[in-house]
Amino acid sequence: MSQETLLALSLALPAAGALLVAACHRWPNLREAASLVTAAATFLMVLSLSGEVLEGGRPALRLGEMLPGLAISLELEPLGLLFALIASGLWFVSGVYSIGYMRGNAEPHQTRFYVCFALAIASALGVALAGNLLTLYLFYEALTLVTYPLVTHHGDDEARRGGRVYLALLLLSSMLFLLPAMAITWWVGGTLDFTPGGILAGKVTGGAAAGLLALYAFGIGKAALMPIHRWLPAAMVAPTPVSALLHAVAVVKAGVFSIVKVVVYVFGLDFAADAFAWLPWVAGFTIVAASIVALRADNLKRRLAYSTVSQLSYVVLAAAILTPLSLIGAVLHIAAHAFGKITLFFAAGAIYTAAHKTEVSQLDGIGRRMPWTLAAFAVGALSMIGLPPAAGFVSKWYIVSGALAAQAWMPIAVIVASTLLNAGYFVPIVYRAFFVEGKNDDPAHGEAPWTMVAALVTTAALTILMFFWSDLPLALARSLT
Protein backbone atom coordinates (compact mmCIF):
# COMPACT_ATOMS: atom_id res chain seq x y z
CA MET A 1 0.00 0.00 0.00
CA SER A 2 1.46 3.39 -0.99
CA GLN A 3 2.20 6.13 1.54
CA GLU A 4 -0.35 8.37 -0.18
CA THR A 5 -3.05 5.73 0.26
CA LEU A 6 -2.15 5.33 3.93
CA LEU A 7 -2.38 9.10 4.33
CA ALA A 8 -5.85 9.19 2.79
CA LEU A 9 -7.02 6.21 4.86
CA SER A 10 -5.78 7.82 8.08
CA LEU A 11 -8.18 10.68 7.40
CA ALA A 12 -11.03 8.63 5.95
CA LEU A 13 -11.20 5.93 8.62
CA PRO A 14 -12.60 8.09 11.45
CA ALA A 15 -15.23 9.54 9.11
CA ALA A 16 -16.20 6.04 7.97
CA GLY A 17 -16.26 4.98 11.63
CA ALA A 18 -18.76 7.74 12.37
CA LEU A 19 -21.08 6.34 9.69
CA LEU A 20 -20.65 2.81 11.02
CA VAL A 21 -21.42 3.92 14.58
CA ALA A 22 -24.57 5.69 13.35
CA ALA A 23 -25.66 2.55 11.50
CA CYS A 24 -25.30 0.50 14.70
CA HIS A 25 -27.39 2.82 16.87
CA ARG A 26 -29.88 0.05 17.73
CA TRP A 27 -27.16 -2.22 19.13
CA PRO A 28 -25.08 -0.43 21.83
CA ASN A 29 -22.45 -3.18 22.15
CA LEU A 30 -21.89 -3.29 18.40
CA ARG A 31 -21.88 0.52 18.23
CA GLU A 32 -19.15 0.81 20.85
CA ALA A 33 -17.17 -2.06 19.33
CA ALA A 34 -17.27 -0.25 15.98
CA SER A 35 -15.95 2.90 17.65
CA LEU A 36 -13.06 1.04 19.32
CA VAL A 37 -12.11 -0.96 16.22
CA THR A 38 -12.08 2.21 14.10
CA ALA A 39 -9.95 4.01 16.68
CA ALA A 40 -7.43 1.16 16.82
CA ALA A 41 -7.26 0.90 13.03
CA THR A 42 -6.73 4.65 12.70
CA PHE A 43 -3.88 4.62 15.20
CA LEU A 44 -2.19 1.71 13.44
CA MET A 45 -2.60 3.47 10.09
CA VAL A 46 -0.91 6.62 11.42
CA LEU A 47 1.77 4.58 13.14
CA SER A 48 2.59 2.82 9.88
CA LEU A 49 3.57 6.21 8.41
CA SER A 50 6.02 7.04 11.19
CA GLY A 51 8.98 5.11 9.74
CA GLU A 52 9.15 7.15 6.56
CA VAL A 53 8.72 10.46 8.41
CA LEU A 54 11.49 9.60 10.87
CA GLU A 55 13.74 8.81 7.92
CA GLY A 56 13.11 12.26 6.46
CA GLY A 57 10.22 11.43 4.11
CA ARG A 58 7.18 13.66 3.78
CA PRO A 59 4.18 11.68 2.44
CA ALA A 60 1.91 14.09 0.54
CA LEU A 61 -1.44 13.98 -1.22
CA ARG A 62 -3.22 16.69 -3.20
CA LEU A 63 -6.99 16.52 -2.68
CA GLY A 64 -8.03 19.29 -5.03
CA GLU A 65 -7.84 23.01 -5.77
CA MET A 66 -10.26 25.49 -4.23
CA LEU A 67 -8.93 28.46 -6.21
CA PRO A 68 -6.04 28.78 -8.67
CA GLY A 69 -2.89 28.32 -6.62
CA LEU A 70 -4.83 27.43 -3.46
CA ALA A 71 -4.84 23.66 -3.11
CA ILE A 72 -6.35 21.46 -0.43
CA SER A 73 -3.47 19.13 0.31
CA LEU A 74 -2.12 16.76 2.91
CA GLU A 75 1.50 16.40 3.95
CA LEU A 76 2.81 14.54 6.97
CA GLU A 77 5.83 16.05 8.72
CA PRO A 78 7.24 15.35 12.23
CA LEU A 79 5.04 17.75 14.21
CA GLY A 80 1.91 16.55 12.41
CA LEU A 81 2.88 12.93 13.01
CA LEU A 82 3.17 13.54 16.76
CA PHE A 83 -0.24 15.22 16.91
CA ALA A 84 -1.82 12.50 14.78
CA LEU A 85 -0.39 9.76 17.01
CA ILE A 86 -1.66 11.51 20.14
CA ALA A 87 -5.16 12.12 18.74
CA SER A 88 -5.64 8.64 17.28
CA GLY A 89 -4.03 6.81 20.20
CA LEU A 90 -5.96 8.63 22.91
CA TRP A 91 -9.17 8.19 20.90
CA PHE A 92 -9.03 4.47 21.62
CA VAL A 93 -8.37 5.02 25.34
CA SER A 94 -11.14 7.64 25.48
CA GLY A 95 -13.48 5.18 23.79
CA VAL A 96 -12.85 2.57 26.49
CA TYR A 97 -13.40 5.20 29.18
CA SER A 98 -16.56 6.53 27.53
CA ILE A 99 -18.27 3.13 27.66
CA GLY A 100 -18.14 3.14 31.46
CA TYR A 101 -18.96 6.83 31.80
CA MET A 102 -21.86 7.06 29.38
CA ARG A 103 -23.50 3.89 30.69
CA GLY A 104 -22.65 4.53 34.33
CA ASN A 105 -24.31 7.94 34.23
CA ALA A 106 -27.15 6.86 31.90
CA GLU A 107 -26.26 9.67 29.50
CA PRO A 108 -28.76 10.38 26.70
CA HIS A 109 -27.94 10.56 22.98
CA GLN A 110 -25.04 8.13 23.22
CA THR A 111 -24.98 7.36 19.50
CA ARG A 112 -24.72 11.07 18.68
CA PHE A 113 -21.88 11.33 21.19
CA TYR A 114 -19.84 8.56 19.53
CA VAL A 115 -20.55 9.87 16.03
CA CYS A 116 -19.44 13.42 16.89
CA PHE A 117 -16.41 12.09 18.76
CA ALA A 118 -15.29 10.20 15.65
CA LEU A 119 -15.86 13.26 13.45
CA ALA A 120 -13.85 15.37 15.91
CA ILE A 121 -10.93 12.97 15.60
CA ALA A 122 -11.24 13.07 11.80
CA SER A 123 -11.09 16.87 11.92
CA ALA A 124 -8.13 16.85 14.32
CA LEU A 125 -6.27 14.46 12.01
CA GLY A 126 -7.07 16.82 9.12
CA VAL A 127 -5.38 19.61 11.08
CA ALA A 128 -2.40 17.34 11.80
CA LEU A 129 -2.01 16.25 8.17
CA ALA A 130 -2.63 19.68 6.59
CA GLY A 131 -0.07 20.58 3.94
CA ASN A 132 -0.87 24.29 3.95
CA LEU A 133 -2.70 26.98 5.89
CA LEU A 134 -5.88 26.68 3.82
CA THR A 135 -6.28 22.98 4.56
CA LEU A 136 -5.47 23.55 8.22
CA TYR A 137 -8.10 26.31 8.42
CA LEU A 138 -10.83 24.17 6.87
CA PHE A 139 -10.29 21.28 9.28
CA TYR A 140 -9.77 23.68 12.20
CA GLU A 141 -13.23 25.15 11.61
CA ALA A 142 -14.75 21.71 11.07
CA LEU A 143 -13.40 20.69 14.48
CA THR A 144 -15.24 23.60 16.10
CA LEU A 145 -18.52 22.71 14.43
CA VAL A 146 -18.51 18.96 15.12
CA THR A 147 -17.62 19.45 18.80
CA TYR A 148 -20.47 21.90 19.39
CA PRO A 149 -23.07 19.09 19.79
CA LEU A 150 -20.73 17.47 22.31
CA VAL A 151 -20.44 20.65 24.37
CA THR A 152 -24.24 21.07 24.39
CA HIS A 153 -24.81 17.34 24.94
CA HIS A 154 -27.12 17.71 27.95
CA GLY A 155 -29.43 20.11 26.12
CA ASP A 156 -30.32 22.24 29.16
CA ASP A 157 -30.02 26.02 29.49
CA GLU A 158 -26.55 25.83 31.00
CA ALA A 159 -25.30 23.58 28.19
CA ARG A 160 -26.76 25.85 25.49
CA ARG A 161 -25.27 28.92 27.16
CA GLY A 162 -21.84 27.27 27.35
CA GLY A 163 -22.18 26.13 23.75
CA ARG A 164 -22.93 29.67 22.55
CA VAL A 165 -19.80 31.02 24.23
CA TYR A 166 -17.77 28.11 22.81
CA LEU A 167 -19.01 28.59 19.26
CA ALA A 168 -18.95 32.39 19.24
CA LEU A 169 -15.41 32.81 20.56
CA LEU A 170 -13.84 30.13 18.39
CA LEU A 171 -15.61 31.09 15.15
CA LEU A 172 -15.26 34.84 15.61
CA SER A 173 -11.58 34.67 16.53
CA SER A 174 -10.74 32.55 13.50
CA MET A 175 -12.81 34.59 11.05
CA LEU A 176 -11.79 38.02 12.34
CA PHE A 177 -8.09 37.32 12.91
CA LEU A 178 -6.89 34.02 11.42
CA LEU A 179 -8.47 34.48 7.98
CA PRO A 180 -6.99 37.99 7.51
CA ALA A 181 -3.61 36.67 8.67
CA MET A 182 -3.76 33.99 5.99
CA ALA A 183 -4.77 36.53 3.34
CA ILE A 184 -1.84 38.79 4.26
CA THR A 185 0.52 35.81 4.21
CA TRP A 186 -0.71 34.89 0.71
CA TRP A 187 -0.32 38.47 -0.48
CA VAL A 188 3.17 38.91 1.02
CA GLY A 189 4.60 35.42 0.59
CA GLY A 190 2.78 34.25 -2.53
CA THR A 191 1.91 30.87 -1.02
CA LEU A 192 0.12 29.22 1.90
CA ASP A 193 2.18 26.02 1.72
CA PHE A 194 4.09 25.23 4.89
CA THR A 195 7.72 26.01 4.07
CA PRO A 196 10.84 24.94 6.03
CA GLY A 197 12.50 28.16 7.17
CA GLY A 198 9.23 30.09 6.92
CA ILE A 199 7.03 31.60 4.22
CA LEU A 200 7.62 35.13 5.53
CA ALA A 201 11.39 34.97 6.06
CA GLY A 202 12.84 38.27 4.78
CA LYS A 203 9.47 39.45 3.44
CA VAL A 204 7.92 41.29 6.39
CA THR A 205 9.61 43.06 9.30
CA GLY A 206 9.10 45.33 12.29
CA GLY A 207 5.63 46.35 13.40
CA ALA A 208 3.98 44.70 10.42
CA ALA A 209 5.49 41.34 11.40
CA ALA A 210 4.45 41.80 15.06
CA GLY A 211 0.91 42.69 13.98
CA LEU A 212 0.68 39.69 11.69
CA LEU A 213 1.89 37.44 14.49
CA ALA A 214 -0.82 38.89 16.75
CA LEU A 215 -3.47 38.00 14.16
CA TYR A 216 -2.25 34.41 14.16
CA ALA A 217 -1.83 34.13 17.95
CA PHE A 218 -5.32 35.43 18.77
CA GLY A 219 -6.93 34.02 15.63
CA ILE A 220 -5.99 30.51 16.74
CA GLY A 221 -8.46 30.73 19.61
CA LYS A 222 -8.13 27.06 20.50
CA ALA A 223 -4.70 27.88 21.99
CA ALA A 224 -6.69 29.81 24.66
CA LEU A 225 -4.41 32.82 25.06
CA MET A 226 -6.09 35.40 27.27
CA PRO A 227 -8.49 37.03 26.58
CA ILE A 228 -9.54 34.41 23.94
CA HIS A 229 -9.88 31.71 26.59
CA ARG A 230 -13.35 31.87 28.09
CA TRP A 231 -14.72 29.26 25.68
CA LEU A 232 -12.70 26.61 27.51
CA PRO A 233 -14.19 26.91 31.03
CA ALA A 234 -17.60 27.57 29.43
CA ALA A 235 -17.38 24.17 27.73
CA MET A 236 -17.08 22.37 31.08
CA VAL A 237 -20.85 21.83 31.03
CA ALA A 238 -20.15 18.88 28.72
CA PRO A 239 -19.78 15.26 29.94
CA THR A 240 -16.28 14.42 31.19
CA PRO A 241 -15.24 12.38 28.11
CA VAL A 242 -15.97 15.52 26.07
CA SER A 243 -13.87 17.57 28.49
CA ALA A 244 -11.05 15.10 27.91
CA LEU A 245 -11.51 15.50 24.14
CA LEU A 246 -11.44 19.29 24.43
CA HIS A 247 -8.50 19.50 26.83
CA ALA A 248 -6.22 16.63 25.89
CA VAL A 249 -7.05 14.79 22.68
CA ALA A 250 -8.13 17.16 19.93
CA VAL A 251 -9.35 20.72 20.41
CA VAL A 252 -6.74 22.53 22.49
CA LYS A 253 -4.04 20.36 20.92
CA ALA A 254 -5.17 21.60 17.51
CA GLY A 255 -4.70 25.12 18.87
CA VAL A 256 -1.16 24.86 20.23
CA PHE A 257 -0.16 22.58 17.34
CA SER A 258 -1.27 25.32 14.93
CA ILE A 259 0.68 27.95 16.87
CA VAL A 260 3.88 25.89 16.68
CA LYS A 261 3.23 25.12 13.01
CA VAL A 262 2.89 28.85 12.24
CA VAL A 263 6.07 29.69 14.16
CA VAL A 264 8.12 27.00 12.39
CA TYR A 265 6.71 27.03 8.86
CA VAL A 266 5.21 30.52 8.40
CA PHE A 267 7.66 32.73 10.32
CA GLY A 268 10.64 30.42 10.87
CA LEU A 269 12.95 30.07 13.88
CA ASP A 270 15.39 32.59 12.37
CA PHE A 271 12.74 35.30 12.15
CA ALA A 272 13.63 38.66 13.75
CA ALA A 273 13.15 38.26 17.49
CA ASP A 274 11.74 41.78 17.94
CA ALA A 275 8.52 40.75 16.17
CA PHE A 276 8.02 38.05 18.83
CA ALA A 277 9.03 40.21 21.80
CA TRP A 278 5.46 40.79 22.98
CA LEU A 279 4.22 37.18 22.75
CA PRO A 280 6.14 35.73 25.76
CA TRP A 281 4.59 38.44 27.93
CA VAL A 282 1.04 37.57 26.85
CA ALA A 283 1.74 33.85 27.27
CA GLY A 284 3.41 34.46 30.64
CA PHE A 285 0.44 36.52 31.86
CA THR A 286 -1.94 33.77 30.75
CA ILE A 287 0.11 31.13 32.58
CA VAL A 288 0.16 33.01 35.90
CA ALA A 289 -3.35 34.50 35.77
CA ALA A 290 -5.01 31.19 34.88
CA SER A 291 -3.04 29.45 37.63
CA ILE A 292 -4.33 31.96 40.18
CA VAL A 293 -7.92 31.37 39.04
CA ALA A 294 -7.35 27.60 39.31
CA LEU A 295 -5.92 28.05 42.80
CA ARG A 296 -9.16 29.68 43.97
CA ALA A 297 -11.59 27.31 42.22
CA ASP A 298 -13.39 24.74 44.36
CA ASN A 299 -15.14 23.00 41.47
CA LEU A 300 -12.78 20.27 40.29
CA LYS A 301 -13.49 20.57 36.55
CA ARG A 302 -13.20 24.37 36.69
CA ARG A 303 -9.82 24.00 38.41
CA LEU A 304 -8.69 21.60 35.71
CA ALA A 305 -10.04 23.89 32.97
CA TYR A 306 -7.98 26.87 34.11
CA SER A 307 -5.02 24.58 34.59
CA THR A 308 -5.38 23.75 30.89
CA VAL A 309 -5.46 27.45 29.96
CA SER A 310 -2.21 27.87 31.88
CA GLN A 311 -0.49 24.76 30.53
CA LEU A 312 -1.31 25.57 26.90
CA SER A 313 0.57 28.83 27.19
CA TYR A 314 3.70 26.90 28.15
CA VAL A 315 3.71 25.72 24.53
CA VAL A 316 3.14 29.25 23.19
CA LEU A 317 5.80 30.68 25.52
CA ALA A 318 8.35 28.04 24.50
CA ALA A 319 7.70 28.50 20.78
CA ALA A 320 7.99 32.30 21.10
CA ILE A 321 11.50 32.04 22.61
CA LEU A 322 12.69 30.94 19.14
CA THR A 323 15.52 28.64 20.18
CA PRO A 324 15.90 25.00 19.10
CA LEU A 325 15.79 23.77 22.72
CA SER A 326 12.66 25.73 23.57
CA LEU A 327 10.96 24.47 20.40
CA ILE A 328 11.76 20.90 21.46
CA GLY A 329 10.21 21.73 24.84
CA ALA A 330 7.08 23.12 23.17
CA VAL A 331 6.62 19.97 21.09
CA LEU A 332 7.26 17.65 24.04
CA HIS A 333 4.80 19.60 26.19
CA ILE A 334 2.05 18.95 23.65
CA ALA A 335 2.49 15.22 24.34
CA ALA A 336 3.17 15.55 28.08
CA HIS A 337 0.10 17.70 28.63
CA ALA A 338 -2.06 15.32 26.60
CA PHE A 339 -1.19 12.31 28.77
CA GLY A 340 -1.27 14.17 32.09
CA LYS A 341 -4.40 16.23 31.56
CA ILE A 342 -6.50 13.41 30.13
CA THR A 343 -5.60 11.40 33.24
CA LEU A 344 -6.83 14.23 35.47
CA PHE A 345 -10.13 14.59 33.62
CA PHE A 346 -10.63 10.83 33.54
CA ALA A 347 -10.14 10.80 37.32
CA ALA A 348 -12.59 13.67 37.78
CA GLY A 349 -15.20 11.78 35.74
CA ALA A 350 -14.59 8.59 37.71
CA ILE A 351 -15.07 10.47 40.99
CA TYR A 352 -18.34 11.92 39.71
CA THR A 353 -19.58 8.56 38.45
CA ALA A 354 -18.71 6.58 41.60
CA ALA A 355 -19.21 9.20 44.34
CA HIS A 356 -21.18 12.03 42.68
CA LYS A 357 -18.69 14.60 43.95
CA THR A 358 -17.74 17.66 41.93
CA GLU A 359 -16.02 19.98 44.45
CA VAL A 360 -12.48 19.80 45.82
CA SER A 361 -13.84 20.45 49.31
CA GLN A 362 -15.84 17.19 49.05
CA LEU A 363 -12.83 14.94 48.40
CA ASP A 364 -11.70 14.27 51.99
CA GLY A 365 -10.65 10.63 52.31
CA ILE A 366 -11.84 9.64 48.84
CA GLY A 367 -8.41 8.22 47.94
CA ARG A 368 -8.96 5.40 50.44
CA ARG A 369 -12.14 4.35 48.64
CA MET A 370 -10.87 4.98 45.12
CA PRO A 371 -7.12 4.29 45.39
CA TRP A 372 -6.52 3.54 41.70
CA THR A 373 -8.32 6.67 40.55
CA LEU A 374 -6.63 9.03 42.98
CA ALA A 375 -3.19 7.45 42.48
CA ALA A 376 -3.60 8.11 38.74
CA PHE A 377 -4.74 11.65 39.55
CA ALA A 378 -1.57 12.13 41.60
CA VAL A 379 0.55 11.05 38.61
CA GLY A 380 -1.25 13.52 36.33
CA ALA A 381 -0.82 16.27 38.92
CA LEU A 382 2.88 15.49 39.21
CA SER A 383 3.23 15.93 35.46
CA MET A 384 1.39 19.26 35.46
CA ILE A 385 3.63 20.53 38.25
CA GLY A 386 6.65 19.32 36.28
CA LEU A 387 8.25 16.91 38.71
CA PRO A 388 9.87 13.54 38.01
CA PRO A 389 9.10 10.79 37.23
CA ALA A 390 6.39 12.30 35.02
CA ALA A 391 6.41 13.55 31.43
CA GLY A 392 5.90 17.20 32.38
CA PHE A 393 9.40 17.30 33.86
CA VAL A 394 10.96 16.42 30.48
CA SER A 395 9.17 19.16 28.54
CA LYS A 396 9.80 21.80 31.21
CA TRP A 397 13.48 20.87 31.26
CA TYR A 398 13.81 21.70 27.56
CA ILE A 399 11.73 24.88 27.85
CA VAL A 400 13.91 26.19 30.68
CA SER A 401 17.07 25.13 28.83
CA GLY A 402 15.92 27.02 25.75
CA ALA A 403 15.14 30.11 27.83
CA LEU A 404 18.58 29.96 29.44
CA ALA A 405 20.21 29.63 26.01
CA ALA A 406 18.38 32.78 24.88
CA GLN A 407 19.01 34.52 28.24
CA ALA A 408 15.25 35.03 28.47
CA TRP A 409 14.80 35.58 32.20
CA MET A 410 11.11 36.49 32.24
CA PRO A 411 9.98 33.07 30.93
CA ILE A 412 12.13 31.38 33.57
CA ALA A 413 10.52 33.49 36.30
CA VAL A 414 7.07 32.64 34.94
CA ILE A 415 7.83 28.91 34.91
CA VAL A 416 9.13 29.02 38.50
CA ALA A 417 6.09 30.99 39.71
CA SER A 418 3.61 28.79 37.84
CA THR A 419 5.27 25.60 39.12
CA LEU A 420 4.67 26.81 42.68
CA LEU A 421 1.08 27.74 41.81
CA ASN A 422 0.53 24.34 40.17
CA ALA A 423 1.71 22.66 43.34
CA GLY A 424 -0.58 24.98 45.30
CA TYR A 425 -3.74 23.81 43.54
CA PHE A 426 -2.87 20.14 42.90
CA VAL A 427 -1.09 18.99 46.06
CA PRO A 428 -4.03 19.87 48.40
CA ILE A 429 -6.34 17.63 46.31
CA VAL A 430 -4.04 14.64 46.70
CA TYR A 431 -3.47 15.44 50.38
CA ARG A 432 -7.20 15.65 51.12
CA ALA A 433 -7.88 12.46 49.21
CA PHE A 434 -5.39 10.30 51.11
CA PHE A 435 -4.60 12.01 54.41
CA VAL A 436 -7.82 13.70 55.58
CA GLU A 437 -10.61 11.67 57.16
CA GLY A 438 -13.89 11.65 55.24
CA LYS A 439 -17.20 12.55 56.86
CA ASN A 440 -18.94 9.77 58.76
CA ASP A 441 -22.17 10.37 56.85
CA ASP A 442 -20.46 9.93 53.49
CA PRO A 443 -21.99 6.82 51.87
CA ALA A 444 -19.59 4.01 51.07
CA HIS A 445 -18.57 3.59 47.45
CA GLY A 446 -15.80 1.99 45.49
CA GLU A 447 -14.13 2.58 42.15
CA ALA A 448 -15.94 3.63 39.00
CA PRO A 449 -16.72 1.00 36.30
CA TRP A 450 -13.64 -0.99 35.33
CA THR A 451 -13.42 0.44 31.81
CA MET A 452 -12.99 3.91 33.28
CA VAL A 453 -10.36 2.76 35.77
CA ALA A 454 -8.48 0.83 33.08
CA ALA A 455 -8.37 3.91 30.85
CA LEU A 456 -7.13 6.31 33.52
CA VAL A 457 -4.50 3.86 34.76
CA THR A 458 -3.31 3.48 31.15
CA THR A 459 -2.92 7.22 30.62
CA ALA A 460 -1.17 7.58 34.00
CA ALA A 461 1.23 4.83 32.93
CA LEU A 462 1.87 6.67 29.63
CA THR A 463 2.65 9.81 31.63
CA ILE A 464 5.35 7.96 33.54
CA LEU A 465 6.53 6.02 30.51
CA MET A 466 7.22 9.24 28.61
CA PHE A 467 9.58 10.33 31.40
CA PHE A 468 11.70 7.20 30.98
CA TRP A 469 11.19 6.68 27.25
CA SER A 470 10.70 9.85 25.22
CA ASP A 471 12.74 8.77 22.19
CA LEU A 472 9.93 9.02 19.61
CA PRO A 473 8.55 12.46 20.56
CA LEU A 474 12.11 13.70 21.10
CA ALA A 475 13.22 12.49 17.67
CA LEU A 476 10.20 14.16 16.03
CA ALA A 477 10.81 17.40 17.94
CA ARG A 478 14.51 17.51 17.06
CA SER A 479 13.81 17.02 13.37
CA LEU A 480 12.01 20.41 13.36
CA THR A 481 15.06 22.39 14.50
- DSSP, collapsed to helix, strand or coil, labels residue 84 as helix
Quick check: is 440 in a domain?
A: yes
Give the whole-angstrom CA distance, residue 463 versus residue 347.
Answer: 14
Quick check: is 46 in a domain?
A: no
Quick check: is 355 in a domain?
A: yes
* Alpha carbon 89 to chain centroid, angstroms: 13
Q: 179 and 134 in contact (C-beta within 8 Å)? A: no
Give the whole-angstrom CA distance, residue 456 versus residue 453.
Answer: 5
Quick check: is 78 in a domain?
A: no
Quick check: is 228 in a domain?
A: no
Closest Cα partner for 18 from 73, 95, 93?
A: 95
Q: Tell me the CA end-to-end span of the chain in Å, nearest whole number.
A: 31
Q: How many CB atoms lie within 10 A of CB 241?
A: 29
Residue 457: exposed, middle, or buried by beta-carbon count in 10 A (0-12, 13-18, 19+)?
middle
Tens of pLDDT, residue by residue over 204-229, are: 888 899 999 999 999 999 999 999 99
Q: 390 and 340 in contact (C-beta within 8 Å)? A: yes
Confidence at residue 201, expressed as pLDDT on a 0 to 100 scale:
82
For 247-260, letters b (16+ CB in 10 Å) and e give bbbbbbbbbbbbbb
Give the whole-angstrom CA distance, residue 141 versus residue 174.
Answer: 8
Give the whole-angstrom CA distance, residue 10 versus residue 406.
Answer: 39
Quick check: is 334 in a domain?
A: yes
Give the whole-angstrom CA distance, residue 363 versus residue 438.
Answer: 8
DSSP 437: P
The parent domain of residue 342 ranges over: 323-481
Confidence at residue 444, expressed as pLDDT on a 0 to 100 scale:
62
Tens of pLDDT, residue by residue over 28-54, are: 999 999 999 999 999 999 999 998 998
Q: How many domains does the chain have?
A: 1
- DSSP, collapsed to helix, strand or coil, labels residue 406 as coil
Quick check: is 366 in a domain?
A: yes
Quick check: is 409 in a domain?
A: yes
Confidence at residue 63, expressed as pLDDT on a 0 to 100 scale:
86
In the predicted model, residues of the chain with pLDDT beneath 70 are 1, 247, 440-444
User: Which residues contact residue 413 at a Cβ distance below 8 angstroms, ignoring those fewer than 6 apart?
Assistant: none
User: Which residues contact residue 196 at a Cβ distance below 8 angstroms, ignoring those fewer than 6 apart?
Assistant: 265
